[in-house]
Amino acid sequence: MKSFILILLGIIVALLIVGGAVAYSFMNELGVNMENIDSNTAEKIKDKVSNVASSESSSSASQDSDIVSEVVKFNAQNGEGYYREVTYKDGGFRQYDADSGKLIGSSYSSDQANLPTME
């Protein structure tokens, strides 16, 4: 019985170590530097997600029913900030700034005039 408990504890410790390594890798992949994490980081992320959820979309009502997914992603190209990517049934997508809710990217030709310039 004692050896069974020791084996069980060993498995739990191994799972915690592997889980920590996976979490560390996942956070680095998302662009969250472990050295820069402070006590407000989780609160900031939660605020950004709630802002995105409450912001209004500029898509039409017919396209709203065609939404396949909405995902908040780290803006790795800019190196900071977050954006919300909305994917539609037809395979197209739109990207909105998480803070302002403004359209910043789109696969639709009709949206190209509304995108910010890259200059």
Partnered with residue 97 across adjacent β-strands are 83
Read off the pLDDT of residues 73-99 as tens digits, 9 standing for 90 and up.
888 877 888 899 999 999 899 999 888
- Residue 102 phi/psi, 5-degree rounding, is -80, 150
The beta strands (E) that lie in the chain are given as 67-74, 82-88, 93-97, 103-106
Kindly report, residue by residue over 20-50, the tens digit of the pLDDT.
Answer: 888 877 776 666 655 555 556 666 666 666 6
Measured between alpha carbons, how far is 66 from 40 in angstroms, rounded to an integer?
Answer: 36
Asked if 114 and 103 touch (Cβ cutoff 8 Å), the reply is yes
For Cα atoms 33, 36, 39, give the angle at the middle one, nearest 5 degrees: 120
